[in-house]
Structure 1
Amino acid sequence: MIRVAVVGTGGIASGCHMPALAAQAHRAEVVAAVDVDADRVKAFAAEHSIPAAYTSLTEMLEAERPDLVHLCTPPFLHAEQARECLEAGAWVWCEKPLALSLAQVDTIAAAESEAGPYCSVVFQHRFGSGARHLRALTADGTLGRPLVAQCVTAWFRNDAYFEVPWRAKWATEGGGPTMGHGIHQFDLLLSVFGEWSEIRAMAGRLARHTETEDVSMAIVRFANGAMASITNSVLSPREESYLRFDYEQATVELRHLYGYDNGNWSSESELWSPPENIASGHHAQLDELLNSLERGERPAVSGPEARATMELAAGLYASALTGQPVKRSDLTPGHPFYHGMNGGLSL
């Protein structure tokens, strides 16, 4: 059995991680939960029949020696907690965003070893059967060259949502809807269209009383020549997540909100025919992650894959805050936006 610990016992742990773990009970056992709130972690452990509850990550790692740690904590804690878990020999599955900067992403990567443990980030939209099928059709050229894409995260969050102290601050969340909301959709876009090369962007604070943006928009050029537009909003009363992929021979569309199955995908092409119907979500990604752990192989959305998505977020902010186009190759340790998503600037 794979020994699992859950760190952070809020809504994402209860609503997404525990149901996914329950579906893997035949090979994964939750042995411990951790939260700084003693009453909350005890209640969480009792509710989910977890044998041990801790208020210290360090103490839990020393006592339980888990194989896998689910990090369900606020973003500003991710980098240090991931590093500590990796150095203790545990694999990590971390909620998005993985870190607050590319520098922190590289710190996490440095704590991995060549043969594991590894740190993967929760980007569950990659793992539904529709996304898998589209990647396969793209890779083998069935649809022709990828040409144009639209990537829209049009969500709504009211002022009360941002009353949580760590939200929409550069130092604690790393950004606004670009980092905390739209990142799911443009990660899926990147998984299909591949490496990006250049970005031009704008960001604004139009309606919410936040430190970061509440809307961002970007145009992206990919290494293969394709181009895409990206919209990230938390001001949209009719919520929708929408992706459109235009190839030489077909258009494929995805309309959903927080998750999809095959019924959310459409195409006019007879070439579009997913062979199975697996919904996106934590369940689907955890299944793949545990497969990788059992084989001792680097899991999906870790290492360079995870970094590429964070690079796009950093490039978007760098372009928006400086008013200049940004190339992916620019984002080296000498670049101000390598060390923080706002590059030391104010919106």
Structure 2
Amino acid sequence: MTRKLKVAVVGLGVGQTHISRGYLPNPERFEVAAICDIDASHLNAVGDRFGIERRETDYLEILGMDDIDVIDVCTPPGTHKALMLAALKAGKHVICEKPLVGSLADIDELLDAESRSSGHVMPIMQYRYNDGAQKAKHLITTGIAGKPYVATCEVHWLRDAHYYEHDWRRHWNDALGGVLMNHAIHANDLMFYLLGPVRSLSARIATRVNRGIEVEDCASVTVELHCGALATTSATLGSVEPLSRMRLCFENMVIETDSRPDFTAEDAPWRFIPANDEIARRIDEALAEFAPPPTGFAGQMQGFHNAICTKTPLPLTLADARHSLDFATAAYWSAKTYSPVPLPVMADHAFYHGWQNAI
């Protein structure tokens, strides 16, 4: 019989999406037993919507609930670290939205805390669980795609002054970053999930779209990957036609996804364009026998449940989040110094403890 994990969701913005798309599709695996938000009226509205009786405005009350197995952190980014450390100290498992924290030093502190806790931390990177992304990974891993050549990743969205009425989104210390950290982070993670880690990069960032904010809303990064491929990623919050697009050119095929308007893990279409009829036949055969996990949050939460209950590695770990922060740290440093940056970023680096208020 499947063990059901009891979850407390903390922060009920994107936290509602975790409930509706992650936990409710897995009713035999999870029960959302409690919710927490500092806005009492919002807390009650969400509790009524989902029929959740335990509702708290005080996070300490959540930590004290002995029957809670998992705390799902969906609060503003600047609060993540303290909430996760407290949960690990209480022996809870943690699921946390992006960006996880604001520095490599913070990630290393979390890794140390996790090593001393009975709990484990899974960062949310649900784009990896898109049906097409899983098929793409399968075609690459089996060798059918062949040698990777170049890749492009575009996150061109529209976020105007209304978006920044949530004041925390405007500032480095609260948001931890702009379009690189809070919008393009999932798509960039997906590109590196498919192609492997970054060897070096050169980046430029700017705030061109929205006046009166500290964080960047435009970015362009040129990347060299360890596999030898070259990639470019660009992001803006000023595209009058929002889209997310990725195009990966391999020896034997092109893999492409293009979603308009904003990219979502659940419905972004993917294309696999073969070099010839023989490659097309091999693609069809490989995908005919491949069964991807459920898409989006549902798939990642299912993988989390399986890992916790079978005591096997999590589908995503703090090490995966560290790779994303390594990329961001290098990009912000490159933009500040107008120089290429090799990865990984080491502990003696000027931005190891964060880039906030330094750009």
TM-superposition CA deviations, 1:138-188 (whole Å, max 9, x none): 223221111211011011101111121110321111111100100010000
- Mapped partners of 2:95, 2:149: distance in 1: 33
Distance 1:262 1:21, change over 3 A: closer
- Mapped partners of 2:78, 2:268: distance in 1: 36
Partner residue of 1:121 out of 120, 123, 128: 123
Partner residue of 2:79 out of 77, 80, 90: 77
- Mapped partners of 2:267, 2:60: distance in 1: 42
Larger CA deviation: 133-142 vs 75-84: 133-142
Measured on the aligned residues, the alpha-carbon RMSD in Å equals 1.9
Larger CA deviation: 180-189 vs 259-268: 259-268
- Mapped partners of 1:219, 1:116: distance in 2: 40
Q: Displacement, 1:328? A: 1.0
Does structure 1 conserve the Cα–Cα contact (< 8 Å) formed by 2:47 and 2:53? yes
Q: Displacement, 1:15? A: 3.3
Distance 1:83 1:221, change over 3 A: same
Partner residue of 1:229 out of 216, 232, 235: 232
Distance 1:277 1:295, change over 3 A: closer
Does structure 1 conserve the Cα–Cα contact (< 8 Å) formed by 2:29 and 2:302? no
Does structure 2 conserve the Cα–Cα contact (< 8 Å) formed by 1:5 and 1:30? yes
Match in the other structure for 1:321 = 336
Distance 1:15 1:234, change over 3 A: same
**Paired-residue identity, %:** 29
TM-superposition CA deviations, 1:307-330 (whole Å, max 9, x none): 10111111111111111111113x
Larger CA deviation: 210-219 vs 274-283: 274-283
Distance 1:205 1:95, change over 3 A: same
Match in the other structure for 1:345 = 358
Matched, 1:217 2:217: no
- Mapped partners of 1:261, 1:172: distance in 2: 28
Does structure 2 conserve the Cα–Cα contact (< 8 Å) formed by 1:17 and 1:282? no
Match in the other structure for 1:281 = 296
- Mapped partners of 2:64, 2:18: distance in 1: 26
Q: Where does 1:223-262 land on structure 2 (aligned, <5 Å)?
A: 223-256=226-259, 257-260=262-265
- Mapped partners of 1:23, 1:261: distance in 2: 13
Partner residue of 1:310 out of 301, 319, 325: 325
Does structure 2 conserve the Cα–Cα contact (< 8 Å) formed by 1:69 and 1:85? yes
- Mapped partners of 1:167, 1:131: distance in 2: 29
Larger CA deviation: 103-112 vs 13-22: 13-22
TM-superposition CA deviations, 1:208-241 (whole Å, max 9, x none): 1210111000011111211100101111111111
Matched, 1:106 2:108: yes
Report SS of the residue matched to 1:251.
strand
The answer for unaligned runs of 5 or more in structure 1 is none
Q: Displacement, 1:116? A: 4.9
- Mapped partners of 2:164, 2:294: distance in 1: 30
Q: Which amino acid aligns with 2:79?
A: L
Match in the other structure for 2:165 = 163
- Mapped partners of 1:314, 1:65: distance in 2: 38
Q: Displacement, 1:263? A: 7.0
Distance 1:115 1:219, change over 3 A: same
Q: Displacement, 1:279? A: 6.6
- Mapped partners of 2:28, 2:354: distance in 1: 41
Partner residue of 1:335 out of 331, 342, 349: 349
Match in the other structure for 2:277 = none
Does structure 1 conserve the Cα–Cα contact (< 8 Å) formed by 2:123 and 2:318? no
TM-score (normalizing by structure 2): 0.90
Report SS of the residue matched to 2:33.
strand
Does structure 1 conserve the Cα–Cα contact (< 8 Å) formed by 2:266 and 2:296? no
Q: Displacement, 1:137? A: 2.0
Does structure 2 conserve the Cα–Cα contact (< 8 Å) formed by 1:2 and 1:68? yes
- Mapped partners of 2:137, 2:270: distance in 1: 14
Q: Displacement, 1:83? A: 1.2
Does structure 2 conserve the Cα–Cα contact (< 8 Å) formed by 1:261 and 1:279? no
Q: Displacement, 1:17? A: 2.9
Larger CA deviation: 269-278 vs 162-171: 269-278
TM-score (normalizing by structure 1): 0.93
TM-superposition CA deviations, 1:283-303 (whole Å, max 9, x none): 221121111121122312212
Q: Where does 1:43-82 land on structure 2 (aligned, <5 Å)?
A: 43-82=45-84
Report SS of the residue matched to 1:255.
strand
The answer for unaligned runs of 5 or more in structure 2 is 275-279
Q: Where does 1:129-208 land on structure 2 (aligned, <5 Å)?
A: 129-208=131-210
Q: Which amino acid aligns with 1:297?
A: T
Q: Which amino acid aligns with 2:272?
A: S
Does structure 2 conserve the Cα–Cα contact (< 8 Å) formed by 1:190 and 1:309? no
Q: Displacement, 1:136? A: 2.1
Distance 1:141 1:277, change over 3 A: closer
Report SS of the residue matched to 1:159.
coil
Q: Displacement, 1:115? A: 8.4
Does structure 2 conserve the Cα–Cα contact (< 8 Å) formed by 1:130 and 1:261? no
Q: Which amino acid aligns with 1:3?
A: K
- Mapped partners of 2:322, 2:266: distance in 1: 26
Does structure 2 conserve the Cα–Cα contact (< 8 Å) formed by 1:115 and 1:297? no
